[in-house]
Chain A
């Protein structure tokens, strides 16, 4: 932003009134005179204007350093040692914990499960949320009621969700299987079959998060200028075309935000699969043990915090890779979808 377009430059604004008040104060005039005081005062206010914003946002970063950065680094430290949950720090072992984790077949199994559940939950979740938000964005009667009600599943605690879905997806006496049997289909072994268990867990996640994402999309959609739709319908574009060519490109930043947050959430999934069986290890053959459950097993069942910390760091790196991948993919996808819009802007920039 150029300063000449700004009505009043912020620095001058703050410094302006400060110098006259400083100069007219009697004690200031007595000790040094306004010529010596004024530059110092204005310097202070200049510093004030420059530094205050950082001071105002610093509580978050101080807190982050305390409760975010420190644990992260400390976990790295722990992961380089033998570290028992109960007896604490042992010998320094370098990357031995990482080696042991990478050699453990259950790590790879958990990674596969996590990615599978993540894909089964995040992809439909974002797509359904988009459609839902598109529908909520239209002129409905009792709009607020509809918009609020999509958030209701989000309010229910994951433990309660797991309890309810546990009954719904019971292998023998569950609701879904009774329904399937009633219409002559064979029941699905939700806790036994790997893919079926992933679908069941993903459905819990989707049930909980779709409405939440839909509301975020809705907020972004509301900010899209209405005259774009008007001119599009004048040009003869239907609702679907408008959604694809106007809504989606216009909410791209929000789309990106939701995709990345649901990636992070999806890769860290714990409560739903953890509560899907009684042992908490993800089924008899660990069909649905996710990475965080694997981490929990190592830390709190096997009581090896060193290995658990190594898993935590590997998970951190995996999430970073996935987030970057997402960023790249969705930017490319976004620029493809938004091509007409982008071209228009480029043309406008060159007069």
Chain B
């Protein structure tokens, strides 16, 4: 009797364990690290468009014992939530995880969770500041650079012509050398074309100016200086007053109205990093007259860019690092640029004819590659973004938006921005 009882208990326990395993397995999905024929399975998690589809096929064809699979998140936010959650949980991350430059500060505090990628093999591959940003204080390299976002100014040549202003690429570039010139041109434009705004969004223009300032919201030691930094206040005052003058669409970047305004002749110019070209082409499909000027007001501007990291929780770090090195090699990055206009951060790729010779029909056959290479080479530093940068920046953007929407006047919006900064601590 005793034995049957014990057996019964064992069966019951077994059933319960099986049930739990089934439940947890259901969450895990098909995250096995080996395929049925014994090959190592590597996963690469990216967001938006990295242009890796063709490259991964190419890599799989080259390898006998590794199969690579890409996991694409629709938006950077979605990818970030997933990354943070699984990093906190200590499991579930892909073998290679892409990260955005703006998250580096927060992730550097967890640099132990990522493999040190420094390797003599890849030394000197990237533009200096690109590697520097991903290097921790103790010299660990957290990520391999993928793309960067050097900015030019995209504009509607047809609308400029209608307003009786120069519309030729070279002449326009001369008009936009400083922010003051750019805004003066805007004032002239809206006087003649009152129904069309000068730029796409107040927030975007503010962002472009923020990206040109080395220390905006936090100083070198990550102390919050947003409230006292005169540069921040000046950017806020400039953008909100220009908006009142009618230079801005007063729309929120990426919102439905913003997307629709590309089709409605909503505005004439916008700051455009390399990856924005694809966005414009998509949103403004069928609209003729877009062009890009080889200039950015008040010096170079850099907006965005990503890295590939190898989390230490992965079982095949060695293979993952090899793959990450291959994916971020200049030749591969040039192909990714050809696929999705993700502008390379590799020194050699900036010489690659596939990049330098790139022209885009949509932008009036502009030599886009040549322009962006020149814009990228002009960049000397990237702004310091500490752990609180993203949160404060969001509050800053919201304050500008409140003025645009008429919810607050500039003074009220600035005061409530200060309260938000205080709240973030």
A residues neighboring B (CB under 8 Å): 59, 62-63, 66-67, 85-88, 104, 106, 166-167, 170-174, 189, 191-192, 277-281, 284-285, 300-303, 305
Contact = CB atoms under 8 A, between A and B. Distances in A.
B251 interface: yes
Contacts of B406: 192
B255 interface: yes
A172 B261 contact: yes
Contacts of B424: 302
A32 B264 CA distance: 95
A327 to B, nearest CB: 32
Interface string B211-246: 000000000000000000000000000000000000
Given A192-B407, A284-B401, A303-B106, A278 B254 contact: yes
Given A172-B261, A284-B401, 9 more contacts: A85-B85, A85-B88, A172-B251, A173-B260, A191-B252, A284-B399, A285-B408, A301-B391, A305-B88
B262 to A, nearest CB: 11
A87 B399 CA distance: 30
Given A166-B256, A170-B256, A86 B87 contact: yes
Nearest to A86: B110
A303 B105 CA distance: 13
Which 8 pairs of residues, A with B, have the shortest CB-CB distance? A284-B401, A173-B260, A278-B254, A192-B405, A172-B257, A284-B402, A170-B256, A166-B256
A300 B81 contact: yes
Interface of B: 16, 19-20, 23, 77, 80-81, 84-85, 87-88, 106-107, 109-110, 251-257, 260-261, 264, 390-391, 394, 397-399, 401-402, 404-408, 423-424
Contacts of B109: 86-87
Nearest to B390: A301
B264 to A, nearest CB: 6
A46 B253 CA distance: 70
Interface centre among A167, A285, A305 (most CB of B within 10 A): A285
Contact of A62 (B16, B81, B404): B16
Contacts of B19: 59, 62-63
A281 B405 contact: no
A174 B406 CA distance: 19
Given A62-B16, A303-B106, A281 B394 contact: yes
Contacts of A280: 77
B394 A170 contact: no
A85 B387 CA distance: 13
Contacts of A166: 256
B405 A278 contact: no
Nearest to A67: B23
A86 B84 contact: yes
B81 to A, nearest CB: 5
B255 A191 contact: yes
Contacts of A167: 256, 260
A100 to B, nearest CB: 10
A173 B88 contact: no
Contacts of A303: 84, 106
Contacts of B264: 173
A285 B402 contact: yes
A17 to B, nearest CB: 22
B88 to A, nearest CB: 5
Contacts of B255: 191, 277-278
A191 B252 CA distance: 10
27 contacts: A63-B23, A85-B84, A86-B84, A86-B106, A86-B107, A87-B109, A106-B423, A170-B257, A170-B260, A171-B257, A172-B257, A172-B261, A174-B257, A191-B405, A192-B405, A192-B407, A279-B252, A281-B398, A284-B402, A284-B405, A285-B402, A285-B407, A300-B80, A301-B394, A302-B424, A303-B84, A303-B106
Nearest to A172: B257
Contacts of B401: 284
B266 to A, nearest CB: 8
A300 B84 contact: yes
Contacts of B88: 85-86, 88, 305
A300 B76 CA distance: 13
A172 B260 contact: yes
Nearest to A177: B257
A284 B398 contact: yes
Contacts of A285: 398, 402, 407-408
A284 B405 CA distance: 8
A188 B394 CA distance: 25
Given A174-B256, A278-B252, A189 B261 contact: no
Contacts of B87: 86
B397 A279 contact: yes
Of B110, B251, B257, B404, chain A has the most CB atoms within 10 Å of the CB of: B257
Contacts of B106: 86, 303
Contacts of A171: 257
Contacts of B252: 191, 277-279, 284
